[in-house]
Amino acid sequence: MINPFEYQHGGHHFNTHPLKENSHWRHYAIDFPVAFPGIFQDSNTAYGEYFQPVSPGKSPLVIFIHGWGDHSALPFQVMARGLAKGGMHSVLLYLPFHSSRMPAEMKKRSPNLTPDEWFAGYRIGVTDVRQVLDWAEENPAVDSSRIAIIGLSLGAIVSSIAVGIDSRITAGIFIVSGGNVTKITEYSRFTVFRRRYRLSRDDYEAIQKRYAGYVEQVAARGWENVEPPERNFFIDPMTYAHRLKGRPLLMLNALWDEFIPKEATLDFQEACGNCPLVWFPTTHSTIWAFYPGIARRVRTFLGENFKFPM
C-alpha cells in the first residue's frame, strides 16, 4: 500500500440540495459517493454543507474540516456563512467520524475505535477532501487556483495531510493541531489516550526512531516511494510536513491544550518551515471561547493570501 490516498479522479456525482437562501448566499446540503466504498463498514456516502455566494464572478473556495463530535462543526457553520457573505465559496465537509456517517455500532464504542477503523476514517477523510477539489475544478464559479482548507483538531490532522499530498490546496489554517501522532498520544493529558495508547518507554523510543528514519527517507525520495514500517505513519501530519514549507499556513493553538502536547505543536511548526503560530490562553476544548479573534485572523489570512477584499 504505497499510496492509500490514490483514487479514480473525476466522474463522481456531487449532489446539492437547496436548504436556504438570502441576499448574500445560498445554502445547500451536499453528498457524493466515497472513493473507497466498503472500507468503513456501510458508510459509502460523504455529506456536508455548501455556502455559495450570490455575488457574481469567480471567487476562492474554503473547505472546513471539523473535529471530534458534531458540535465542533457549529462554529465553522457560522464562519462559512460569514465568508460566503464576503464573496467566498465555503464547503463544510463532515468527516467519517460525524454522526451522519458513522455506523450505529461504532457510535456506541467511540472514541474507542479499532486501529483499522481509525486508519479507514482518516483515509476516507483525506480522499473526501480531494473529491471536493475535483468538484471545485469543474465548478465555473470557483477560482480553483485559490483554495484554502481550515481544520480543527482531528480535522486539522486530515487537513494538513491533504495539503501535503495535494498541491491544489493553496493555503491552510490548522486549529489546535500538531504532528507526530505517537508523541501526541504518549504525552496527551486526555484520559482515553493515556489509558488506551500509552506505551512502555522502550516501545515508544523504538517507534520514534523508526518514524524519524522513515520521515528522513520520505523527505529524500517522496512519500509515494517509501513503504512505511507502520501503516499509521501514512496518517501522521509530520510525514508530509516537508511539503508544506513555503506554503501559506497559519497555526492557531491552545496554550493549555489537554489533547495536543505543546511539543507536538512546535515540532510540526518547525517541520513546516516555522509557519506563523498564534497561542490562545485556553484549552483544546474551550478554544472557541476566542471565536471573534480566530475569525478575525482567518479573514485577515485569507484576504492577504488570496488578494481578496474581506
Per-residue pLDDT of 99-129, as tens digits, reads: 888 887 887 887 778 888 889 999 999 999 9
**Contact assessment for residue 170 and residue 144, using Cβ atoms and an 8 Å cutoff:** no
Residue 42 has pLDDT above 80, yes or no: no
Q: Grid coordinates 524519524 are at which residue?
A: 212
- Classified by CATH at the fold level, domain 15-305 comes out as Rossmann fold (3.40.50)
At 238, list the grid cell.
509530520
E strand segments, the chain: 15-21, 25-33, 45-53, 59-65, 89-93, 142-152, 171-175, 249-254, 277-280
Residue 95 has pLDDT above 70, yes or no: yes
The model's confidence at residue 251, banded by pLDDT at 50, 70 and 90, is: very high
User: What predicted TM-score, i.e. pTM, was given to this entire model?
Assistant: 0.95
pLDDT in tens, 136-161: 999 999 999 999 999 999 999 999 99
**Contact assessment for residue 72 and residue 94, using Cβ atoms and an 8 Å cutoff:** no
Residue 219 has pLDDT above 80, yes or no: yes
**What share of the chain has pLDDT > 70, as a percent?**
95
